[in-house]
């Protein structure tokens, strides 16, 4: 069955409230499109918890800095719809064109304009904005957003949290599912929902990997064959770190160095390798139960992230 495509906030709210009036529950899977099996696994997770599933497809300009890859972010709206049809069980695709008016003098305007001009694969463009006054409200999760990706992408999490808050307000789901590949993002959204009393349960779905171990990502398409092969060093280093921890390794510095050396030896450029508490995302002094090894590394022009939860018995 082909999902219903909704473009506007009013229509999306009307659909959700009609479903909820029938005593049915709604699950939301927020995406930026260019769907892969990792996204589809999130949908499967949402289906287990709710009667109806909404998938949002919205490339969010607010999470990209002026130097980042918004204009080249891959899109294939028609292909996304075909993938959703193939798995079934998706009732609505919410595909707004605009969710936030950045004005004409912001650092992201040039990228936004470039991206909108390249919008051929996203179907009809329908604005979700009202009025002519630019938006100026941002949602910040001040502690959790600072480390890891927040160090090199300082505007990323305010853009994510703000647009996710808007999606939750528009769709009004009972459950929202996020992938653990974007580990910090998942924790930021969990904290935002708790702190602001959103009536939604946030579920973290396990990271999905290719058969050879590479974490699934829409950005993988930009890797050359050689870079893709080199990028396998990330998952290999993470699995080796988990094995070492399970064998009794307690020293954070040694484990961290081994991960860095493995990735750099394969040609990767490290953004960060950190071992942090799974909930607070604060650095730990020793390997213990409930930590996660988080990695961001560049291969060519592609920045990849990955992580490995470690639960030492």
What is the DSSP secondary-structure string of 257-284?
A: HHHHHHHHHTT-EEEEEEEEETTT--B-
Claim to verify: residue 198 and residue 227 sit in the same structural domain: no
Burial classification of residue 74, based on how many CB atoms lie within 10 Å of its CB (0-12 exposed, 13-18 middle, 19 or more buried) = middle
Number of domains comprising the chain: 2
- With respect to residue 312, please indicate whether it lies within any of the assigned structural domains: no
Domain boundary, last residue among 205, 233, 268: 205
- With respect to residue 212, please indicate whether it lies within any of the assigned structural domains: no
- With respect to residue 210, please indicate whether it lies within any of the assigned structural domains: no
Of the CA atoms within 13 Å of residue 74, those in its CB half-sphere come to 14
Q: Is 5 helix (H, G, I), strand (E, B) or coil?
A: strand
Claim to verify: residue 146 and residue 257 sit in the same structural domain: no
Task: Tell me how far CA of residue 206 lies from CA of 28, 45, 268, in angstroms.
Answer: 16, 10, 25
Is the CB of residue 150 less than 8 Å from the CB of residue 274?
no
Determine the distance from the C-alpha atom of residue 6 to the mean position of all C-alpha atoms in its chain, rounded to a whole number: 21
Claim to verify: residue 176 and residue 67 sit in the same structural domain: yes
CB atoms inside a 10 Å sphere around CB 250: 13
For the annotated catalytic residues, the residue numbers are: 39
Instruction: Give me the pLDDT at residue 313, please.
Output: 61
What would the mean pLDDT of 23-36 be, rounded to a whole number? 97
128-181 pLDDT, tens digit per residue, is 666 668 899 999 999 999 999 999 999 999 999 999 999 999 999 999 999 999
Task: State the DSSP string of 106-135.
Answer: STTHHHHHHHHHT-GGG-S--B---SSSPP
- With respect to residue 232, please indicate whether it lies within any of the assigned structural domains: yes
CB atoms inside a 10 Å sphere around CB 268: 23
The rounded distance, in Å, linking the Cα atoms of 99 and 75 is 18
Would you say residue 86 has pLDDT above 70? yes
Claim to verify: residue 198 and residue 235 sit in the same structural domain: no
Claim to verify: residue 194 and residue 230 sit in the same structural domain: no
Q: What is the pTM of this model?
A: 0.90
Instruction: Give me the pLDDT at residue 108, please.
Output: 39
Claim to verify: residue 295 and residue 171 sit in the same structural domain: no
Looking at the chain, the whole-number percentage of residues with pLDDT higher than 70 is: 90
- With respect to residue 49, please indicate whether it lies within any of the assigned structural domains: yes
The rounded distance, in Å, linking the Cα atoms of 144 and 150 is 9
Claim to verify: residue 16 and residue 128 sit in the same structural domain: yes
Claim to verify: residue 201 and residue 246 sit in the same structural domain: no
Q: Which two tokens stand for residue 30?
A: 């927020």
The rounded distance, in Å, linking the Cα atoms of 20 and 41 is 24
Parent domain of 290: 218-307
What would the mean pLDDT of 298-312 be, rounded to a whole number? 95
Would you say residue 273 has pLDDT above 50? yes
Report the CATH number that the domain containing residue 123 is assigned in CATH.
Answer: 3.40.50.620
Claim to verify: residue 83 and residue 148 sit in the same structural domain: yes
Backbone torsions φ then ψ of 309, nearest 5 degrees: -75, 140
Q: Which two tokens stand for residue 35?
A: 């769907």
Claim to verify: residue 197 and residue 236 sit in the same structural domain: no
Q: At what angle do helices 156-171 and 183-195 cross, to 10 degrees?
A: 50
CB atoms inside a 10 Å sphere around CB 147: 17
Domain boundary, last residue among 174, 205, 236: 205
Q: Which two tokens stand for residue 256?
A: 């961290």
Is the CB of residue 35 less than 8 Å from the CB of residue 59?
no
Report the CATH number that the domain containing residue 242 is assigned in CATH.
Answer: 3.30.1300.10
Domain boundary, last residue among 157, 173, 205: 205
Measured over the CA atoms of residue 100, residue 101, residue 106 and residue 111, the dihedral's sign is positive
Claim to verify: residue 191 and residue 46 sit in the same structural domain: yes
- With respect to residue 159, please indicate whether it lies within any of the assigned structural domains: yes
- With respect to residue 227, please indicate whether it lies within any of the assigned structural domains: yes
- With respect to residue 213, please indicate whether it lies within any of the assigned structural domains: no
Instruction: Give me the pLDDT at residue 66, please.
Output: 73
Claim to verify: residue 18 and residue 99 sit in the same structural domain: yes
Task: Tell me how far CA of residue 115 lies from CA of 67, 147, 225, 227, in angstroms.
Answer: 14, 28, 26, 26
Among the listed ranges 96-110, 183-197, 286-300, which one has the minimum average pLDDT value? Answer: 96-110
Instruction: Give me the pLDDT at residue 36, please.
Output: 95
Tokens 């936004």 -> residue: 112
Is the CB of residue 277 less than 8 Å from the CB of residue 290?
yes
């Amino acid at each position: 069955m082909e999902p219903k495509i909704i473009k506007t906030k009013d229509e999306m709210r009307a659909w959700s409230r009609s479903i909820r009036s029938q005593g049915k529950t709604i699950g939301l899977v927020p995406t930026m499109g260019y769907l892969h099996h990792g996204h589809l696994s999130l949908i499967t997770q949402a289906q287990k918890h709710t009667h109806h599933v909404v998938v949002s497809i919205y490339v969010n300009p607010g999470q990209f800095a002026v130097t980042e890859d918004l204009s080249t972010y891959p899109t294939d709206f028609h292909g996304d719809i075909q993938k959703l049809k193939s798995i079934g069980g998706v009732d609505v695709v919410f595909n707004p064109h605009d969710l936030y008016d950045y004005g004409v003098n912001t650092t992201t305007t040039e990228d936004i304009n470039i991206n909108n001009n390249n919008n051929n694969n996203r179907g009809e463009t329908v604005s979700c904005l009202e009025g002519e006054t630019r938006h100026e409200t941002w949602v910040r999760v001040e502690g959790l957003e600072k480390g890891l990706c927040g160090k090199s992408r300082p505007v990323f999490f305010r853009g994510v949290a703000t647009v996710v808050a808007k999606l939750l307000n528009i769709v009004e789901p009972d459950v929202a599912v996020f992938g653990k590949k974007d580990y910090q993002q998942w924790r930021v959204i969990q904290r935002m929902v708790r702190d602001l009393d959103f009536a939604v349960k946030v579920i973290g779905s396990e990271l999905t990997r290719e058969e050879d171990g590479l974490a699934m990502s829409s950005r993988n398409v930009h890797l050359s064959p050689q870079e893709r092969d080199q990028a396998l060093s990330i998952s290999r280093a993470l699995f080796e770190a988990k094995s070492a921890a399970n064998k009794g390794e307690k020293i954070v510095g040694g484990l961290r160095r081994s991960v860095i050396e493995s990735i750099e030896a394969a040609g990767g450029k490290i953004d960060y390798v950190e071992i942090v508490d799974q909930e607070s995302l604060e650095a730990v002094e020793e390997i213990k139960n409930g930590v996660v090894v988080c990695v961001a590394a560049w291969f060519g022009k592609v920045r990849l992230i990955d992580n490995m939860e470690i639960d030492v018995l």
